[in-house]
Amino acid sequence: MRIINIRLGRPAVVTLALLPFIAALIVYAVASDIRLTANPADRLLPAPGTVLTTAGQLLSEPDRRSGDILFWQDTWASLQRLLLGVGISATIGLIFGLLIGLIPVARALLAQFVAVVSMIPPLALLPILFIVFGLGELSKVVLIVIGTLPFLIRDLSQRVLEVPQELVVKAQTLGASTWVIAIRVVLPQMMPRLIQAVRLSLGPAWLFLIAAEAIAADAGLGYRIFLVRRYLAMDVILTYVIWITLLAFVMDWGLRTLSRKAFPWAEAGL
């Protein structure tokens, strides 16, 4: 039997899916053990148990100076920036994607400009953003917007162009104006695609968030990681990295579920 035709049952699929995770854990545990046997004071690869203990402390013990639990404070600060940035980006991206995709005049005016602007490396603009918007929240949110917006606009305008021309013509024969075509025909069909595009831009969004926080912030997940790096506190860094991964994964999963629940027609038809 050909390998491409081998199908697995549910238990086998779950086992196989878990295998790489377990393998990674084992590799880490062994490597950590080897280093710790050689030098019990080694800080580079703390034992899994140590990481767990640190994680427990981070999640529950308040900061001695301020009395807040820094872990949750960092999480809240970062999530706020991320959601604000991605939300603004998605809204503007949707509006401009519709304009460029649906209206030839807007396309002639903006498509090339967006294509050129999307080539600017957003991180190269970060110093400018810090100078213009200061070191506060605004510059971080703007970096996320600048980093994800061009992709969203280009992706969504392309998706609008992919809406079958027949549907647009049909709507016109039913007497629909440009506005009605935009809000009743194209916009609803864009929503599942918007969610898909947002899912894809969450990765870059986290990247820009952590980059901005690493350089100038007083709270945030990225800020904390780069702060404790100075003390080689690998147990703290690992806890934060795992937490960020988990948050990103849950967001992605949530958006996918939302798309499936809210747009049943897209699953069946497209």
Partner 1 sequence: MSFVTVENLFQSYGRRPIIERVNVTVAEGEFISIVGASGCGKSTFLRLLLAQETPTRGEIRINGAAPAREPGLDRGIVFQRYSVFPHLTVRENILAGESFRRGWGRFWGAERRDALARADETLARIGLDHVADQYPATLSGGMQQRLAIGQALVARPKVLLLDEPFGALDPGTRVQMHDFLTELRTQTQMTVFMVTHDLGEAFKLGDRVLVFDKVRWDPQDPNLHGATITYDFDACTGGIPFQTLKEDIHVYHTA
Closer CB to partner 1, 40 or 175, in the complex: 175
Closer residue to partner 1 (CB): 22 or 169:
169
* Shortest CB 197 distance to partner 1, Å: 17
Nearer to partner 1, 51 or 171 (CB): 171
What gap in Å lies between CA 163 and CA 165, rounded to an integer? Answer: 6
Distance CA 259, CA 253 (A): 10
Question: CA-CA distance, 100 to 104, in Å (whole number)?
Answer: 7
11-39 CB burial, b ≥16 within 10 A, e <16: eeeeeeeeeeeeeeeeebeeebeebbeee
Min separation Cβ 217 and partner 1, Å: 42
Question: Shortest gap between Cβ of 77 and partner 1 (angstroms)?
Answer: 38
Per CB under 8 A, residues contacting partner 1 are: 164, 166-167, 169-177, 179-180, 183-185, 188-189, 263-266, 268-270
Closest CB 187 distance from partner 1, rounded Å: 9
Nearer to partner 1 among residue 43 and residue 184 (C-beta)? 184
Nearer to partner 1, 40 or 269 (CB): 269
Rounded Cα distance between 170 and 218, Å, is: 55
Distance in Å, CB of 190 to partner 1, minimum? 10
Residues whose CB falls within 8 Å of the CB of residue 236, separated by 6 or more in sequence, listed in order: 54, 58, 224, 225, 228
